[in-house]
Structure 1
Amino acid sequence: MTRLAAVGGLLLGGAMVTQAAMASEPPGTAAVPRSAAESVVTNPGAALVEKFGAARTAGTWLDSEGRPVVGVTDEKTAEAVRAAGAVAKVVSHSMNELKSATAALRSAPRVAGTAWVMDYRSNQIVVQGDSTVSSSDWSKLTRTAGGIGSFVRMERTTGTFTTRINGAQPILSTGGRCSAGFNVTNGTSDFILTAGHCGPTGSTWFADNQAKQQVGQTVNSNFPGSDFSLVQYASGKAGASADVVAIGNGNGVRITGTGDAAVGQRVFRSGSTSGLRDGEVTGLDATVNYPEGTVGGLIETNVCAEPGDSGGPMFSEGIALGITSGGSGDCKTGGQTFFQPVGDALNQLGVQLIVAAPSGNGQGGAPASSAEPAPAATNTQSAASPGSASPGSTTPVTGGGETATLASRLTDPKNIGPGLLVLAGSMVALVATRYIRAEQDRKAYQRYYSATWG
């Protein structure tokens, strides 16, 4: 019976090792290009806004419970929105009126240090002026806003609206330091998607201060107007783990697709200066008058950023949303940051995001690391330990920092340790039974021989 149990243990251990080896293969995490048409819907209310039109709606956002809310201008539309499963809020001004107001602001004389954004939740246009805007310029802009209507709100900010030049992995050139944002491809060559203000076409980027490790060269840059650029890898390829963005401490988040940001959505931003930070989307279609020029169509958030974070990735639930453009304040006192939407940049550049092939867990096939992505990261953020990466890519260039103990690794059913333990125990039991049986046979023979000889 012992020998039979040992043989059964060998079969069981072999099966466990085989299963663990197969489980260790990440079939759903291969980095592949995916088109913008496969973008993820982050707010179902967007479809209702499109259905009922800009004359009957005024934007959509997520409430504190994550439910889609749609601003509507009449009770009939409100009833239709509620019937579709969303929350309706009746407001005074339609999206057409809000867009008309922003058009009037764009036609006014440009004032550097100002910005405006549609605040869907308050049904207002918020015009902001930083500390560099003079009293006379602010008074002129206030008169322009007053002529538009009472739904235009004026606010002064204490910071300064600047591009965050100088990012998740740093890339450096003679023009300054920026971040690698997301890896993209045109099917032939791979590129880094980063901020356009980082440098003009022709800028050469390196991964070190000595300019010895060349990353690539900017081949397409758009700024002002928009704020995105393409850096073509010198090697032509992004390399391993091109679908991961760094979040610090050797960890990363696998990117599984693209999406449009939603007001009220919780988002994360990673940059080489201030690391991983989180916050909320506060506005869409923002316009910022940087000293270098005006950029429109931006995402406004209350996530902080600092010089050096430009071009860094913004994401949520593993979905790429934007790349860091600029903002005001810092990560000590707080501030606001504007992001270039990823989808718009991909469409205009004619490239595709390199993302992880989706798996059954909904998190891009990446297992959560033992350390949660700080700050306040939840299990919805797919942490990964991607290992080595090409210079300048958004993947950590060091190992993932394994913190699990030997005992926990051996007892983890996803590892081969338990199977090896069963195999070893079975082999010991089998050898022991053979030895015991041999000893029993030898003694029995001695007794028989002695009795026969006597």
Structure 2
Amino acid sequence: MRRRRLTHAVLASLLVLGGSSAAGTIPAAAAGSSASTPSAQSAPSTADPKPASDGLLAAMQRDLGLTRRQAEARIAAERAAAVLAPQVRRTAGEAYAGSWFDAERGRLTVALTPDATTGTRRAIGAAGADVRTAEHSARQLDAVKTRIDRLSAPPGVSGWHVDPVANAVVVDVVREDRSDNDVRRFVSRARAAGPVTVRTVAAAPRTFAAGTVGGDPYYTGNVRCSIGFSVHGGFVTAGHCGRPGAGVSGWDGSFIGTFQGSSFPDNDYAWVSVGSGWWTVPVVLGWGTVPDQLVRGSAVAPVGSSVCRSGSTSHWHCGTVLATNETVNYSQGAVHQLTKTSACAEPGDSGGSFITGDQAQGVTSGGWGNCAGGGETWFQPVNEILTRYGLTLHTYTG
């Protein structure tokens, strides 16, 4: 479905665009004038009276089963948790065993090892987080995952990640392959690395690129993918969508720019420089289904937070953050440090935006399932892409 150009042009006219900015989504003829201040990792302002558009709130209501008031309250609580998470991690020090957002309580939960001092526990509680005791520290679990990362995984193992709630490394095995000898051997070697829990999943993950079928938003060769987030000078997207030097055309067939950097597998990120009359704007598109969402920063949402995704095939869908720093075993090779969500996606959504409230989270990598029957989707965190290529996220500060 082609997005409504008039709606997007009206939004663009409200933003102050840098005069020499190139863009990934708005032709110059459709854009007005504006100004924005770049911020790669801006913290969210908990005082912002409306951190999300009506469309994003509607998508959360649809996909998470919330009322509008509950969706608004959840976004506010998640913003507070995102600010608190790095602070309590520093306070916990070596006793830190992970943290996550508890949607039922609307608070951040922090796990601490038994040797955490009473003063540390009190300080974290006084800061506004709930405290739990866990056997293994985050550093210990990260070391276990690193050891598993060195193993060669068969196709029946879909991925693995540190789960702070379980206080273990969770290895996901495709249901129909759980009795496969290679899978059983991998699981046995993973268990030898440290505390491991095995989970059965419905299907193996795949990337969400698609052959050219007509529509939005960008094309490279015969592959259609989705724009992630505007950066100054271009946009970020998924690495499996194109290699360095590959040309990119827009929804209307006009030339946008060129892949300047790309990594896949191992990582799944890329950035495209843009020109030829295209400008960047700090928005996530609603594709004519919901209003566009302004991007104001990239504070990381904790595990358990809500997250919404925009892509050129399935448009807006929401879910929750299930895990971070997960290794995903695609057929093309393992990709590391992905974030897993319960949001659905479909072919053509690759590279598209994941956002919590007005905070950019990452670009769509792949997953399993679809938006008719459900599934899980992974994204590459946006801050890692910005750091890797020295980019600045295009944000709106009005």
Question: Do both share a fold (TM > 0.5)?
Answer: yes
Aligned residue among 158, 178, 188 for 1:143: 188
**1:282 and 2:319 equivalent?**
no
Contact 1:206 1:215 in 2 (8 A): yes
Q: Does the residue aligned with 2:292 lie in a helix, a strand or coil?
A: strand
**Matched AA of 1:231:** V
Q: Does the residue aligned with 1:180 lie in a helix, a strand or coil?
A: coil
Give structure 2 stretches of 5+ with no counterpart.
1-12, 18-33, 45-78
Call closer, same or farther: CA 1:33–1:237 in 2, change over 3 Å.
Answer: farther
Q: Does the residue aligned with 2:244 lie in a helix, a strand or coil?
A: coil
Aligned residue among 140, 154, 178 for 2:198: 154
Matches within 5 A, 1:413-452: none
Q: CA deviation at 1:245?
A: 1.4
Match of 1:38 in 2: 42
How big is each residue's C-alpha offset from its partner over 1:365-420, in whole Å with a ceiling of 9 and x where there is no partner?
xxxxxxxxxxxxxxxxxxxxxxxxxxxxxxxxxxxxxxxxxxxxxxxxxxxxxxxx
Aligned residue among 253, 256, 270 for 1:229: 270
CA distance in 1, matches of 2:35, 2:327: 34
Call closer, same or farther: CA 1:27–1:198 in 2, change over 3 Å.
Answer: closer
Match of 1:179 in 2: 226
**1:124 and 2:168 equivalent?**
yes
Contact 1:160 1:329 in 2 (8 A): no
CA distance in 2, matches of 1:68, 1:109: 35
How big is each residue's C-alpha offset from its partner over 1:143-162, in whole Å with a ceiling of 9 and x where there is no partner?
1132134x311122221211
How big is each residue's C-alpha offset from its partner over 1:92-142, in whole Å with a ceiling of 9 and x where there is no partner?
111122112101211222334520111112212110123685701211112
Match of 1:89 in 2: 132
Give structure 1 stretches of 5+ with no counterpart.
1-24, 359-454
Contact 1:305 1:331 in 2 (8 A): yes
Structure 1 or 2, whichever has the larger Rg, is 1
Q: CA deviation at 1:79?
A: 3.1
**Matched AA of 2:288:** N
Q: CA deviation at 1:85?
A: 2.5
CA distance in 2, matches of 1:280, 1:141: 29
Contact 1:78 1:90 in 2 (8 A): no
TM-score, scaled relative to structure 1: 0.67
Q: Does the residue aligned with 1:344 lie in a helix, a strand or coil?
A: helix
Call closer, same or farther: CA 1:338–1:140 in 2, change over 3 Å.
Answer: same
Number of residue pairs matched by the alignment: 324
Q: CA deviation at 1:320?
A: 0.7
**Percent of pairs identical after alignment?**
32
CA distance in 2, matches of 1:343, 1:90: 30
CA distance in 2, matches of 1:71, 1:247: 37
**1:293 and 2:333 equivalent?**
yes
Call closer, same or farther: CA 1:255–1:295 in 2, change over 3 Å.
Answer: same
Q: Does the residue aligned with 1:104 lie in a helix, a strand or coil?
A: helix
Aligned residue among 106, 117, 120 for 2:149: 106
Aligned residue among 247, 271, 279 for 1:204: 247
**Matched AA of 2:349:** D
Aligned residue among 376, 381, 384 for 1:344: 384
CA distance in 2, matches of 1:144, 1:131: 19
Q: CA deviation at 1:43?
A: 4.3
Q: Does the residue aligned with 2:128 lie in a helix, a strand or coil?
A: coil
CA distance in 2, matches of 1:73, 1:35: 35
Match of 1:315 in 2: 355
CA distance in 1, matches of 2:265, 2:176: 20
TM-score, scaled relative to structure 2: 0.76
Contact 2:39 2:394 in 1 (8 A): no
CA distance in 2, matches of 1:126, 1:138: 14
Q: Does the residue aligned with 1:98 lie in a helix, a strand or coil?
A: helix
Q: CA-atom RMSD, angstroms?
A: 2.4
